[in-house]
């Protein structure tokens, strides 16, 4: 066999530990498939005394990850620290400046700085690989960049955050509200102590920005992603969705049109007969629609030590084999800067729930507010009668209309004295 490929791992948390365990367990198999040994020779983490269940006696330990990144005794840096800036960014930049290949699972780093880092890698003649940054163990980046390279991608969408998918699935199955299910997700380790990135859609937006660049050969533009989370979803909405033949999923959706690149993350009503509507629990799924191949569904575990380590080591094996793919679908210098299609131009149907006083004339006021912006009601459900004229849920679905029209109608509806809570809106996606 040829010379050993020497690896430095920055970050020994869940994924870092899983990566070392995988490399140790499959050392012979990986060496055989690569035609050369692949060996971790250096690591860096904050606490050297922490018990990780790993044998590290023969591995050099660096207190400073950037010093390890500059070390001439390593060939590849694996960055598993996390965070869009700070030590993670400095470590990756140092490695690239010193001619090291870099593998990262850091979706925030790539979403915010992927353009410049890919350019640095290109100029240095090294690889910046990030399969593990999107959907854990699902090889969605390779699927789009390589498997679908002969296709023009018509659209790409998916469940990009397992925590939110677990919460929505459990709300439907158990009838419990968001807050209670979130606490369960935290106890099970599916949600962080601060779950904001997951439940507010930021994590999914990071991943969608990366997928958009891959699908449409454009620069990453995270700031242009429209982002909404699931905090406002109620079991009332979940139950009405079921009754109407839908399920609620937090989706990331990207399309390219004459108006520019459309990137949005928000809760969606999806017909129950759609495959993605039946992806449950902590699983992720991505659908890419190619003009020749049609729809391709990639589904699997989107996080965790094993699945994410699988993608990290998949990138490492490519590097060991001498495969030199661009970070995105084309060289970084060829990525285009595309205009953003504004959310106001989104066109589709809508689910709308109002908590309205049960008294004569209320329904007429509601439909008039919609009519004034040219919005046609497809269906309406009013549950029960409130004794003494108390609030009852009024649920409407609309025919397709522009988002700008719906936003104006929401302002009118919110101003009605018979509507006691802010209207709840969920977009209906035909996919």
Residues known to be catalytic: 207
Distance CA 196, CA 98 (A): 36
The alpha helices in 38-161, defined as continuous H runs, are: 65-70, 86-97, 107-124, 140-142
Whole-number Å distance between alpha carbons of 66 and 88: 9
Q: Which of 84, 90, 87, 95 is nearest to 129 (CA)?
A: 95
Residue 151: CB atoms within 10 Å: 17
- Strand 347-357 and strand 391-398: the pairing is antiparallel
Rounded distance between C-alpha atoms, residue 193 and residue 339, angstroms: 37
Taking the C-alpha atoms of residue 294 and residue 143, their distance in angstroms, rounded to an integer, is 13
Query: ∠152-345-380 over CA atoms, to 5°?
Result: 110
What is the spatial distance between Cα 325 and Cα 363, in angstroms, rounded to a whole number? Answer: 58
Pure H helices in 220-278: 235-244
Please give the backbone phi and psi of residue 183, each rounded to the nearest 5 degrees, phi first.
-60, -40
d(CA 45, CA 11): 5
**What is the chain's length?**
431
Name the residue among 354, 358, 400, 361 with its Cα closest to residue 380.
Answer: 354
DSSP E strands: which ranges in 66-196? 76-79, 101-104, 128-129, 153-159
Which is nearest to 107 in space by CA: 23, 225, 188, 17? Answer: 225
Nearest Cα to Cα of residue 230 among 157, 158, 297, 169: 169
Residue 362 parent element (H or E)? helix 362-371
178-187 helix and 162-174 helix, angle to the nearest 10 degrees: 120
Give yes or no for a contact between 210 and 263, defined as CB atoms under 8 angstroms apart. no
């Amino acid at each position: 066999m040829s010379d050993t490929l020497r690896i430095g791992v920055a970050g020994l948390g869940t994924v870092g530990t899983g990566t070392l365990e995988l490399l140790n367990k499959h050392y012979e198999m990986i060496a055989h498939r690569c035609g050369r040994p692949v060996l971790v020779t250096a690591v860096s983490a904050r606490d050297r005394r922490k018990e990780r269940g790993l044998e590290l006696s023969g591995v050099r330990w660096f207190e400073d990850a950037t010093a390890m990144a500059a070390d001439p005794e390593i060939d590849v840096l694996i960055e598993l620290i996390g965070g869009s800036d700070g030590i993670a960014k400095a470590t990756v930049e140092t490695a690239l400046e010193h001619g090291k290949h870099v593998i990262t699972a850091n979706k925030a780093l790539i979403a915010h700085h992927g353009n410049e880092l890919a350019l640095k890698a290109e100029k240095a003649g090294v690889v910046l690989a990030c399969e593990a940054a999107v959907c854990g163990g699902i090889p969605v980046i390779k699927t789009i960049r390589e498997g679908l390279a002969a296709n023009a991608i018509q659209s790409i969408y998916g469940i990009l955050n397992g925590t939110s998918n677990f919460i929505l699935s459990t709300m439907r199955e158990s009838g419990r509200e968001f807050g209670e299910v979130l606490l369960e997700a935290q106890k099970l380790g599916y949600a962080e102590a601060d779950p904001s990135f997951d439940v507010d859609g930021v994590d999914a937006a990071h991943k969608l920005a990366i997928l958009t660049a891959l699908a449409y050969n454009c620069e990453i533009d995270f700031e242009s992603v429209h982002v909404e989370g699931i905090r406002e979803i109620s079991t009332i909405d979940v139950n009405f969705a079921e009754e109407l033949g839908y399920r609620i999923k937090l989706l990331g959706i990207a399309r390219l049109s004459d108006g520019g690149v459309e990137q949005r993350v928000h809760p969606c009503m999806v017909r129950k007969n759609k495959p993605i509507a039946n992806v449950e629990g902590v699983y992720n799924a991505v659908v890419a629609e190619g003009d020749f191949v049609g729809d391709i569904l990639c589904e699997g575990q989107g996080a965790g030590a094993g699945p994410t380590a699988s993608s990290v080591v998949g990138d490492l094996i490519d590097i060991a084999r001498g495969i030199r793919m661009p970070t995105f679908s084309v060289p970084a210098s060829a990525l285009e800067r595309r205009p953003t299609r504004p959310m106001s131009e989104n066109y589709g149907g809508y689910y709308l729930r109002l908590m309205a006083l049960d008294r004569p004339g209320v329904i007429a006021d509601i439909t008039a507010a919609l009519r004034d912006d040219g919005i046609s009601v497809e269906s309406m459900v009013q549950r029960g009668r409130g004794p003494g004229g108390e609030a009852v849920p009024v649920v409407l679905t609309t025919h397709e209309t522009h988002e700008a029209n719906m936003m104006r109608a929401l302002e009118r509806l919110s101003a009605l004295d018979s509507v006691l809570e802010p209207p709840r809106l969920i977009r209906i996606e035909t996919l």
